Structure 1
């Protein structure tokens, strides 16, 4: 078996067998770039990693850096919808929960119309006060139809706009009926709204408080019996 030589700190070491040299390389006693020589490799010394030594490990560099500018594939529709819902602070609703594939374009959720509906009794009290100031108060009843029409229109308009926003802001994923409940009184509407959106019954209690205030104001403006 051919004799091998290796270089260590500028000094020639050897001869030793190929097996012994391999053992030193395997056990990290010599680095892979150690200069070695044997008659079969010619007249020049070579790093061990560039010879046929079986145990001479090839130098391993770091893995390549991740490529930049690579666009990730889009999320599945259901996951994308869930992320949007969480970011908006609304109920967790996926696309698959909608009753059909024709889904409305999502709009920002707000309760502005619900607030107006909750305070409608106070608006009605203001109308009653204006009528009374013009001499057309509750004592003659000639303009009762104005107050009735006001409540009907105000309740219908605010409930329609609010139920539309609830649906288009994806807070009514199953498209349950909401607007028509206004005709069962605002109490029924707010109860239904809270059940659909998973929100509190605050607007229902606000409406009740305003309705009580309206009744008190109506009694105060009524003529003495």
Structure 2
């Protein structure tokens, strides 16, 4: 692929991707330097928006296209954290009443990791010169990875793993439903039981008279 770049107001090139990356390493091309390749049509883009330099870190993007690192963190990171937490709690034989605080903290950490990796993955796609899937796809990850694969052109393994994890989660919920329903019924039964009434004052008076 041929690249052109702005050199003090003058068009320079064509050069290969390897050459333009070398120029970036030598700081002859900066993140704000305009570059162009035939894929961009009639629009010149800053190097930071062309998949060459990350605007977040200023580091070179040595491989073409978007990275899948943050996509994998998004997909399996929160899931693994929650699974490991439950495994540790089971090994330590901590009762349900003692798990509430730990599970709440881990759930919040997982949620933060989920959204951070989600936004960074979308940024990675944007840096490669493509438009990432819409924000609301976070509500349904298989749909997000399906759209991502259409946009990026790869990522079949991400889509398959997301479908597998969705199937596992749904299957677990189905198997857990009878137990959850039983616990709800037990709680309702405890709430419906009448509270014990205090002894009557007349009864206490009669006991005192007998004494």
TM-score w.r.t. structure 1 length? 0.45
Rg comparison, structure with higher value: 1
Higher helix proportion: 2
Q: Which structure would you say has the larger RCO, counting Cα contacts within 8 Å and 6 or more residues apart?
A: 1
